[in-house]
Chain A
Amino acid sequence: MTEYYFHAEKMSVGYQMRPLIEKIEIGLQKGEILTLIGPNGAGKTTVLKSIAGQIGLLGGTVYLDGRSIGGMSGSELSRKMAVLLTEKLRTELMSCEEVVSTGRYPYTGHFGLLSAGDRAAVREAMELVHVTDIADRDFQRISDGQRQRVMLARAICQEPEIIVLDEPTSYLDVRHKLEFLSVLQKLRREKRLTVVMSLHELELAAKVSDKILCVNGRYAGKFGKPEEIFRPGAIGELFGISTGSYDEESGGMELAAPEGQAEVFVIAGGGTGRTVYRSLQRQGIPFAAGILFRNDLDYPVAKALSARCIAAESFEPVPEALLLEAREQINACQKVICCRETFGTYETANAELLAYAERSGKFKRGGIRSCQK
C-alpha cells in the first residue's frame, strides 16, 4: 500500500450515533486537491466536518502524515489543519486584519498577543489573496466575496498543511471563483498544501481537482481522478437528474427537451446550431437535429435538447442509410431551419438535405437570418 499524506480508512460519519455515510476511503498525497461533489443534503458537509474533527467519527480512522487525527491534541491539529466552513464567522467591531490575525491563535502566547513574526504572516496571507486594501474595513461591512477571501487569508496564516473548505465558492462571482481556486492552486504548488473541499460547480471541480469523491446520501460513491469520475451519465446518476441534463465532457448543462414529436428539422454543424436549439427549447418546440458528427460542437446540445438527433461517426463519411433516415425525418417535420450559410467538402450530406427540403417546400431561403438570432 502506498503511503498517503492524508488517509481516511473505513471512515463512518453522521450525527448522534446514527451513521449517515459509512466506510469512506480516501487517500491523498501531499499537495493534492480533493473535491467532494454530490447533491444537496448528501452529506458533503458532514464528511468535511468529520475530517476536520468538528464532529466525532462513528467509525474508522483519519490519518494525517501517518498519525491518527483523533490522537492529536486540539492545539497540535490546529497547526496542521485550517478550516473554512459555511457557518458565518461571528464578529463584532472587528476589522478584516483582526479577523485574519485570529488565524495566528495556535502560535501566540497565553494572552494571544501578536509578535512581529505573526504580523508578517498576517500581511503575507492578506497579500496572497489581495485583501490588503480592505485591511481596516469592518468585516461585517464588506461583500460576501471579499469576506470569503478574508476567510481564506485567515486560514492561510494559520500555516496549515491541509485545509478543509466547505463550499468556498458559493458566494463568489465568476471572477472571484477563478481567483479563489487559482490561489488554492498556487498554495498547493508553493507550499504543498493539501486541499479537501466541496464544490457545487462541477465543471470547476473537474478542472481544479486531482481527486474527486462522489457523495450521495447513504454511501460514498466513487473516489478517483476527475477523468475516472466524469464518465458519461455519471453526474446524472449521482445527482438523480431527471429534468434536463449534464454533459460530463463539456461541463455544460441543458434544460429539459420539449416533449413530443419533432416539428422542426434543424440542419447545423460547427457550433452554429446551439443557439437555435436553445431558442426552440425556450419556445417549447420539439425539433430534430442532423446530420451532426459526434465530435461536433453542436452535438452535445442537440443530444440534450432534440426530440431526435441524427448523428454520424466522426471522421467518417456519412453513410447512405443515415441520409435516408434524415430525409424521412424531414418528411415528418413541418419546417426545416438551416444554420449553415455554405457547406464544406465534408458536409455534402447536409447540402443534399437542404436541397431536398427546398424541393419539398419546407425550407425558404432567407430563413437563415432569422435562425441566427
Chain B
Amino acid sequence: MTDKRARYIVSFLFLGICAAALCVLNICIGSVEISLQDILASLSGRAVSRTQSRILWDIRLPRTLAAFVLGGGLALAGYLLQTFFHNPIAGPFVLGISSGAKMTVALTMVFLMGRAVRVSSAALIGAAFLGAMISMGFVLLMSRKVSNMAMLVVSGVMIGYICSAITELVITFAEDADIVNLHNWSRGSFSGMTWDNVAVMTAVTAAAFTAVFLLAKPLGAYQLGEAYARNLGVNILLLRVLLVVFSSILSGCIVAYAGPISFVGLAAPHLVKSLLGTTKPLLMIPACFLGGSVFCLFCDLLARNLLAPAEIGISTVTAVFGAPVVLWVMLHRNRERIS
C-alpha cells in the first residue's frame, strides 16, 4: 500500500517537473534564444529588449501554454474514449472525431471568411464540438453493430478519411488567402496562438477537466464493466452521455485551435498508466492531463526546432513517438491473452 502511494507521488513529481522543464525549454529555445534570466526579468516586469519581449509575450508564451492546455485536454479526451469503449486503442484521432471536428471547422471558416465575417473563438469551438459530436454519433452507431475492438477502430478511421476528404474538397474550393491558413491548420499546429485563444481554451478545458474529475468515482466503477457498475448504483445512461459530451468538448476545443493532432490522445494515457501502475480514474485523470501536456510540449519543441527555421507539422512528431506506443500496447495485450 505504501509502496503504491510512493509510486504515485514520484510519478506526479516526475510529470510535474517534466512539464515545468519543458515549458521553460519551449520558451527559451527557438530561432532567437532567450536566456532564463531574461525570462525571469521580463516576467517580473523589468525591461528587456523589445524583440525578445515580443517573442516571449506574443509568440512563445501563448504557444507554450496552448501546448500545455491542449495536450492535456487531448490526452484526457483519449482516456475518456478508451474508458467509454473499453478499448485501449481508442482516441479522438483514431475514431475520426478529430477529423469530424476538422471538417466542420473548415466548413465554417471557409463559409464565414468568404463573407468576410471575422470568425470568433466561440464559433470555432461550437463548430468543432458539433463536428466531434457528428463523428461520435457515427462511431456510436457503429459500436452498436460491431462489438469487435479492431472493427470499431477501423470504422473510426474510415469516418476520419471521409471527413478529411470533405475537408480537402472544401480547401480546394476556398479562396487563395484562406488556403495557406487552412492548410497549416488542417495539418495540426500550435503556431499563431493569441492570448485570447489561450484564455478561451483554458476556460473550456479547465471546466471539462473539473467535471470529469468529479466523475472519477462512477468512472472507476464503469471500468469494471457495465453490469457491475449498474449493480453498484451507477446511472449508466447518464454517465455514458456525459462521457460522450466531455470527450467531444475536449476534442472539439483542441481541433478548433490546433487542428487535428494524432496519437497524443492514444499514446499519452498508456504511457501514464504504465508510469502510475494503476488505472484508478482519481489518479489517472490529473496524471493523464499532465502526461498529455508533457508529450505535446516535447513534440512541439522538436517540431519547431528540428528543421529550424522551417517547422514540422506537430502530428508528424507525435506520430513518430506515439505510433510505437500503440504497437507496444497491442503486443502487450496479445501476450496477456495467451498467458
Which residues does A use to contact B, with CB under 8 Å?
Answer: 49, 52-54, 73-79, 81-83, 85, 87-94, 98, 102, 105-106, 108, 110-113, 140-141, 158
Contact = CB atoms under 8 A, between A and B. Distances in A.
* Secondary structure call for the A interface: loop
A52 B225 contact: no
B227 A108 contact: no
Contact of B231 (A73, A83, A110, A111): A83
A111 B233 CA distance: 15
B273 A93 contact: yes
Contacts of B224: 89-91, 102
A83 B223 contact: no
A89 B222 CA distance: 10
Interface stretch (B107-115, B117-125, B212-220): B212-220
Size category of the binding interface on chain B: 20 to 34
A112 B230 CA distance: 16
A110 B220 CA distance: 12
B230 A74 contact: yes
A140 B217 CA distance: 22
Contacts of A105: 217, 220-221, 232-233
Contacts of A52: 231
Interface stretch (B26-34, B64-72, B148-156, B276-284): B276-284
Contacts of A49: 227
A98 B220 CA distance: 11
Interface of B: 86, 214, 216-217, 220-221, 223-225, 227-228, 230-235, 273, 277-280, 282, 336, 339
Contacts of B282: 111-113
Contacts of B233: 73-79, 105-106
Contacts of A75: 233
Contacts of A91: 223-224, 279
A74 B336 CA distance: 34
A82 B220 contact: no
19 contacts: A54-B230, A74-B233, A74-B234, A76-B233, A79-B233, A87-B225, A89-B224, A90-B223, A92-B279, A93-B277, A94-B278, A98-B280, A102-B220, A102-B221, A110-B217, A111-B217, A111-B282, A112-B220, A141-B339
Q: Which residue, B86, B216, B223, has most C-beta atoms of chain A within 10 A?
A: B223
A74 B232 CA distance: 7
A83 B217 contact: no
Contacts of B220: 102, 105, 112
A33 B87 CA distance: 38
A81 B220 CA distance: 19
Contact of A54 (B223, B231, B339): B231
B278 A93 contact: yes
A186 to B, nearest CB: 22
A246 B282 CA distance: 53
Nearest to B225: A90
Contacts of B221: 102, 105
B284 to A, nearest CB: 10
Contacts of B217: 105, 108, 110-112
Contact of B279 (A81, A82, A93): A93
Nearest to A78: B233
B86 A87 contact: no
Given A93-B278, A112-B220, A88 B225 contact: yes
Nearest to A141: B339
A132 to B, nearest CB: 14
A122 to B, nearest CB: 12
A49 B228 CA distance: 11
Contact of A140 (B223, B232, B336): B336
A94 B279 contact: yes
A85 B228 contact: yes
Q: Which 8 pairs from chain A and chain B are nearest by CB? A: A78-B233, A74-B233, A75-B233, A112-B217, A105-B232, A83-B231, A92-B279, A90-B225
A105 to B, nearest CB: 4
Contacts of A73: 233
A74 B226 CA distance: 13
Nearest to A95: B4
A220 to B, nearest CB: 22
A110 B218 CA distance: 9
B279 to A, nearest CB: 5
B231 A87 contact: no
Nearest to A49: B227
A22 to B, nearest CB: 24
A110 B225 CA distance: 20
Contacts of A110: 214, 217
A61 B220 CA distance: 31
A2 to B, nearest CB: 28
A82 B278 CA distance: 25
A89 B228 contact: yes
Contact of A81 (B216, B231, B280, B339): B231
A29 to B, nearest CB: 23
Nearest to B222: A90
B36 to A, nearest CB: 38
B83 to A, nearest CB: 10
A102 B232 contact: yes
Given A54-B230, A74-B230, A98-B280, 13 more contacts: A54-B227, A74-B233, A81-B231, A90-B86, A91-B279, A93-B273, A102-B220, A105-B221, A106-B233, A108-B217, A111-B217, A111-B282, A112-B220
A81 B227 CA distance: 13
Q: Which residue, B220, B228, B336, has most C-beta atoms of chain A within 10 A?
A: B228
B303 to A, nearest CB: 32
Nearest to A89: B224
Q: Which residue, B220, B225, B227, has most C-beta atoms of chain A within 10 A?
A: B227
Contacts of A94: 278-279
